[in-house]
Amino acid sequence: MLFKKNIIEIKKSKFISYYFNVTDVNEINDILNKLKKEHKKAVHFPYAYKINNQEKKTDDKEPTNTAGLPIYNIIKQKKLNNVLIVVVRYFGGIKLGTGGLYRAYQRATLELLK
């Protein structure tokens, strides 16, 4: 399973984005569990995936459509398939607001795919 990692920091919050090639939805829970063990102090693990005709996005307790949606939109825009993108967030104490969160997750995903 190929994966790529990128880290950005915005207003003291750390966003660690991961790209995984996946071929089966069953792989996703294993990957998420490993990331949650590795990043025990992280607050959010939003993600999106597309495996053939199966698609999903989740904000993982971030405000609605501020985390999973920007990740998912980039997957669609770039026509990616058999991919899981997870962005692990460590909260830095400064609220970013809904627009700020959307842009942060979008940037974390775009920089990962460079």
Which CATH number is 64's domain given? 3.30.230.30
Residue 2 has pLDDT above 70, yes or no: no
Pairing mode, strands 54-58 and 83-90 = unpaired
Print the domain residue range for 22: 3-113
What is residue 3's predicted lDDT score, i.e. its pLDDT? Answer: 81
Q: How far is Cα 46 from Cα 89, in angstroms, rounded to an integer? A: 8
Mean pLDDT computed over 69-97? 96
Q: How far is Cα 68 from Cα 48, in angstroms, rounded to an integer? A: 6
Render pLDDT for 63-77 as a digit per residue (tens, 0 to 9): 999 999 999 999 999
Domain count, the chain: 1
Place of tokens 């990616």: 80
pTM of the model: 0.95
